[in-house]
A and B are shown apart, each in its own frame.
Chain A
Amino acid sequence: MSAPRMPIESGVPDPFQYMHPVLARNFGQWKHHERPRPGVLCHTSHSGDKVWTIRAGTQRQMDLYTIRKLCDIADEFAEGHVRFTIRSNIEFMVSNEAKVAPLIEKLTKEGFPVGGTGPSVSMIAHTQGWLHCDIPGTDASGVVKALMDELYEEFVREDMPNRVHITTSCCQINCGGQGDIAINVQHTKPPKINHDLVANVCERPTVVARCPVAAIRPALVNGKPSLEVDEKKCICCGACYPPCPPMQINDPEHSKLAIWVGGNHSNARSKPSFQKLVAAGIPNNPPRWTEAAAIVKKILRVYKEDARDWERLSDWVDRIGWARFFELTELPFTKFHIDNWRGSRRSLNASTHIRF
């Protein structure tokens, strides 16, 4: 028997072998950029070279026919090179301005929206959901498809006050990350435990250690070693479920969606910020998640009308205050909006600064 093939531990590939030649030639030499129209960037180098970037939205989960079609378009109109953004938009670089319009026409005709630049709503950063995740409370690709259908015009235009990053996550671990608007699963009931399976499936000390509020303890149930949850302490976060699948947290009715706003990782103007809760109890309603979409659209509409140029969603709320945010969006303010996690005192208003 021949020896098994051992892996070549090559790590991160060198990008220069795949990079558009104008980019490689002007590496580190770029001078400024403009946005001639939504979905198009034009970068100028100190060398005098120019490159036009055409950005288009994709479905992220792509069948190979879609990828090959994008390759065909790149071969015909964009010099055989592409790159992807962190939000799964594809970028075609061209060194000749005359190629821009035909490329846009082709992409649009083939169903790839050109946009996602500047003050637009870009593609939604998302997770795996029911397609591939082992712990999802909802789908990801489907939620994103449904929302982007609704927000299509905001992707292809640049008429938001500033860029809007939306994220979704199909559990509270939140792989989707922080966003100006985040639509995340929020479980509302403690896990349902199948005590017959726990001892065989779960490493119990690990599960006990995983709980952020120390609500899980070992117990004998029906004569078998298992785990029990102090339901008064439980915050229904689902952290115990990945290491212990018999502690089922997902529930078709009680796993809801929550919406958070104001997450921003850029240092521009204000320091980076985490997203804050604005709405919860939203039904997890496939295939179009219309209730969640309606709230997202309402927040976007109010932001668009009320925010000033260059204000990210968090900047806007900082200026107008949270009370006004709830008034304008007509979202209920509840006891759940007042944080009670560690360090939450910093979120209380220790002043008489109040807008009436």
Chain B
Amino acid sequence: MSKELRNTPMLDQLEGGPWPSFVTGLKRLARDDGKPYQAMMIDLLGQLEHSYETRKGFWKGGTVGVIGYGGGVIPRFSEVAAKFPESKEFHTLRIQPPAGMHYTTDILRQMCDIWEQHGSGLIALHGQSGDIMFQGTKTENVQAAFDALNEIGFDLGGAGPAVRTGMSCVGAARCEHSCANEQKIHRILVNNFLDDMHRPALPYKFKFKVSGCPNDCMNSIERADMAVIGTWRDEIQADQEEVKAFVAKKGRKYVIDNVVTRCPTKALSLNDDDTLAIDNRNCVRCMHCINVMTKALSVGKEKGVTVLMGGKRTLKIGDLMGTVIVPFLRLESDDDYQRLKEIAENTIEFFAENALEHERTGEMIERIGLVSFLEGIGVEVDPHMVSEPRQCSYVRMDTWDEEAQKWLERKAEQAAG
């Protein structure tokens, strides 16, 4: 005997139109006679329609988890459970995706089967932090759903004041711009802090994101407390025959207007023979010319990463970009990766000890000043960290000579190799 769907005139309007409709998907689950999630989905649609009518949300948080972990489940209890009793509990499991979000159909089907048995049948690929969101299950089913997903090789992600799920771009798996092994960096960093992820005890959230080049497809610079972005230190690789072919195809005007004059540091010039002169000393690795001339120009060979810290959104002091902490770090040997791990460890340790409650890394840096933060994590100052030096003379500088000496000694050390 088929159960009746509730009346959802407003949501019904989201079934029309060419874009795939989540409402149609929800209804498909609500019509699924005999499935454990059917009644829940009928009422979920009812509550969602109620939100559309009243223009208000009706979920509140709570405490639901799995044995051994303190976070990773997002509890949701309905405030209108009297009206919609079957969806009174609608918790989400945040599950970390494979780095780069690669799946076989086999593993996706296994996930679907688990969620058909223990959950709502609704899965979001993926949330804003990068998690696979298994959306909607009762408190009593949370542990069984997690156990099943855990057994096939998946783990809960972060929630609350913890290290959060990381993200990395497709990178070396399918992108010629890749300057790093993104998935390796992602896994080394996040998997080194699983205790800080699964047992939330930091002042606030801490996010890692990894992009393989300065295009920063993962938006790490604006959204990650620690952004690792691939770059290179030598010259742009130019295939001048391909440059000529590109000029022949597009014309000199196009190349001058769209490549040469768009270079932010005026490092490009089109030669009379239709080859490209590149002033690599003044290239800032912005990626534009490489993005336009994908066949002719490529990233350099001496690859590494730039590490930026402190990116976050508005709450509480306004938006902050990540800023340069490590201008260039080569990532080849185990020691190199160890150094990256150390930087992350020092940062999280310093953050845990010095940040105020609910303060992000970027806000802490804003409050204490970049120099205090650098001293705290044992990183030397570097002119690449600033857009410009100090403007204001209100600063006590009686240790100037010692600081200048430090710089000169570092330079001498570098020169000696």
**Which residues of A come within 8 Å of B, CB atoms?**
4-15, 17-20, 23-24, 27-28, 30-34, 43, 51, 53, 57-68, 70-72, 74-75, 80-86, 88, 90, 93, 111-113, 125-139, 141-142, 145-146, 148-149, 152, 172-178, 206, 209-210, 212, 237, 239, 245, 250, 252-253, 255, 263, 265-270, 272, 274, 284, 286-288, 308-310, 341-343
- The interface of chain B, by Cβ under 8 A from chain A, is 10-11, 13-14, 16-23, 25-26, 28-29, 48, 51-52, 54-61, 66-69, 74, 76, 90, 92, 96-109, 111-112, 115-116, 121-128, 130, 135-136, 146-147, 150-151, 153-156, 166-167, 169-170, 172-176, 178, 181, 183, 186-187, 190-191, 194, 197-198, 214-223, 254, 257-258, 262, 264, 284-288, 291-292, 294-295, 298, 313-319, 321, 356-358
On whether A134 and B60 interact (CB within 8 A), knowing A83-B103, A111-B20, the answer reads: yes
CB pairs A–B below 8 angstroms (12 shown): A9-B198, A11-B190, A14-B98, A19-B173, A23-B102, A30-B174, A30-B175, A30-B178, A32-B176, A64-B112, A81-B102, A255-B55
Residues of chain A within 8 A (CB-CB) of B217 are: 86
Instruction: Give chain A residues whose Cβ lies under 8 Å from the Cβ of B262.
Output: 269, 310
Task: Verify A60–B125 contact, CB threshold 8 A.
Answer: yes
Closest to A123 in B: B19
Chain B residues closer than 8 Å to A12, beta-carbon distance:
96-99, 155, 166, 186-187, 190-191
A63 touches which of B26, B174, B286, B358 (Cβ 8 Å): B26
Q: Smallest CB-CB separation from A63: which chain B residue?
A: B25
CA A270 to CA B92, docked complex, whole Å: 39
> Contacts A15-B102, A265-B222, A342-B317 hold; do A287 and B10 have CB atoms under 8 A apart?
yes
Q: Which listed residue, B20, B67, B106, B173, touches A6 by the CB 8 Å rule?
A: B67
- Extra pairs beyond A18-B103, A268-B291, A287-B13 (11, CB < 8 Å): A6-B68, A7-B155, A8-B151, A31-B298, A32-B295, A59-B19, A63-B28, A65-B29, A173-B313, A252-B55, A286-B55
B19 contact from A80, A152, A342, Cβ within 8 A? A152
Interface pairs A-B: 6 shortest CB-CB: A149-B17, A63-B25, A252-B55, A130-B51, A11-B191, A267-B214
Indicate if the CB atoms of B102 and A174 lie closer than 8 Å.
no
Q: Are B123 and A62 in contact (CB under 8 A)?
A: yes
| A61 pairs with B19, CB closer than 8 A | no
Assembly CA distance A342 to B156 (angstroms)? 38
In the bound complex, how far is the Cα of B74 from the Cα of A62, in angstroms? 18
Give chain B nearest CB distance to A242 CB in angstroms.
Answer: 8
* Contacts A15-B173, A287-B14; A145 near B19 (Cβ below 8 A): yes
**Cα-based distance from A96 to B377 in the complex (angstroms):** 50
Say whether, besides A71-B105, A145-B23, A63 and B121 are in contact (CB < 8 Å): yes
Query: Which residues of chain A are within 8 angstroms of B221 by Cβ–Cβ distance?
Result: 265, 267, 272
What residue in chain A is nearest B187 (Cβ atoms)?
A: A12
Contact flag A134-B61 (CB < 8 Å), given A11-B96, A12-B190: yes
Q: Are A132 and B90 neighbours in the complex by a CB distance under 8 Å?
A: yes
Q: Compute how far the CA of A74 lies from the CA of B26 in the bound complex, rounded to whole angstroms.
A: 23
Asked if B176 and A31 make an inter-chain contact with CB atoms under 8 angstroms apart, the answer reads yes
- Known pairs A59-B25, A84-B125, A206-B358; A131 contacts B288 (CB<8 A): no
Q: In the complex, what's the smallest C-beta–C-beta distance from B275 to chain A, in angstroms?
A: 18
Residues of A within 8 A of B11 (CB): 142, 287
A-side contacts of B61, CB under 8 Å:
134
Contact in complex: B215, A266 (CB < 8 Å): yes
A96 to B284, CA, bound (A): 37
Kindly list chain B residues whose C-beta atoms are within 8 Å of the C-beta of A146: 14, 17
The CA-CA distance from A268 to B215 in the complex, in Å, is 6
A143 to chain B, nearest CB (A): 10
Residue of B56, B150, B222 touching A177 (CB-CB under 8 A): B222
Does the CB pair A15–B13 fall under 8 Å?
no
Contact of B103 among A58, A81, A136, A174 (CB under 8 A): A81
Alpha-carbon distance between A77 and B191 when the two chains are bound, in angstroms: 35
A239: nearest residue on chain B (CB-CB)?
A: B315
- A32, B294: Cβ atoms closer than 8 Å: yes
User: Is B17 within 8 A of A145, CB to CB?
Assistant: yes
> How far, in angstroms, from A5 to B292 measured CA to CA in the complex?
53
Q: Which residue of chain A is the closest to B52 with respect to CB atoms?
A: A286
Among candidates B285, B286, B358, residue contacting A210 with C-beta atoms closer than 8 Å:
B358
Q: How far is the CA of A66 from the CA of B108 in the complex (A)?
A: 11
User: Are the C-beta atoms of A342 and B318 separated by less than 8 Å?
Assistant: yes
In the complex, which residues of chain B have a beta carbon less than 8 angstroms from the beta carbon of A59? Answer: 19-22, 25
Chain B residues near A265 (CB-CB < 8 A):
216, 219-223
Chain B hits for A288, CB < 8 A: 13-14
Contacting pair B156 A7 (CB below 8 A): yes
B231 and chain A: residue at smallest CB distance = A267
Chain A residue contacts of B313, Cβ below 8 A = 173-175, 177
**What separation, in Å, do the CA atoms of A72 and B108 have in the docked complex?**
11
Measured CA separation A83–B169 after assembly (Å): 11
Bound state CA distance, A32 and B107, in angstroms?
30
Q: Quick one: closest B residue to A41, CB to CB? A: B174
Tell me the complex Cα distance, A355–B313, Å. Answer: 32
- For A4, A15, A70, A84, the residue with the greatest tally of chain B CB atoms inside 10 Å of its CB is A15
Closest beta carbon of chain B to A165's beta carbon, Å:
9
For A51, what are the chain B residues with a Cβ–Cβ distance below 8 Å? 174
- In the complex, the answer to whether A112 meets B20 with C-beta atoms within 8 Å is yes
Residue numbers in A under 8 Å from B254 (CB-CB): 309
CB pair A132 B55 closer than 8 Å? no
**A149 B18 Cβ-Cβ under 8 A:** yes
Does the CB pair B18–A245 fall under 8 Å? no
